Structure 1
Amino acid sequence: MFRIAVYKLTTKLILVHNHPSGNTNVSDLDKSLTNRLMVVGQLLEIQVIDQLKLENTLHIAKKMKLKGMDIKTISEITGLSPEDI
């Protein structure tokens, strides 16, 4: 994970990983991995400044629909076509 950062002489890094299931809860594994990667960053003198979790857009749209949001608004927010929602 840090190989390209070291190669490019990066001093700061943002970690990104996905949660295709749509489950946005932070798991113990997420916490553990993030802590370990921050330690690695410190050893390499690369500051880990943030971590982003990506979700499946369709899953988010379905959640919005279940909460009563109209399809047109969901389409505008997510970029999905009304047919896909």
Structure 2
Amino acid sequence: EYAARLGVNANTAVKAYDQLAQEGVIFNKRGLGYFVAEDAQRYIKDTRRRAFMQTVIPEMVRQMKLLDISLEDMKEAFAKA
């Protein structure tokens, strides 16, 4: 039902639910459906933080070097944001 609402293949939706369950973000209560785990928000935030630190920051540093943006320039921009 959810797959149809989103317009995706049912197998894709099942795989997504399985992955979220394996990662502890959701859990299944047989006969009732899926529910969000208590620590799901923390897990998702930690996962996104790791991804940010591993991908966004290195690319930002690369761009800063290419554009001769100093750490002081970045600190000023950060303070203004």
Give your verdict on TM over 0.5.
no
Question: Could you say which structure has the higher strand fraction?
Answer: 1
**Larger RCO, structure (CA 8 Å, separation 6 or more):** 1
| Structure with greater Cα Rg | 2
Question: Could you say which structure has the higher helix fraction?
Answer: 2
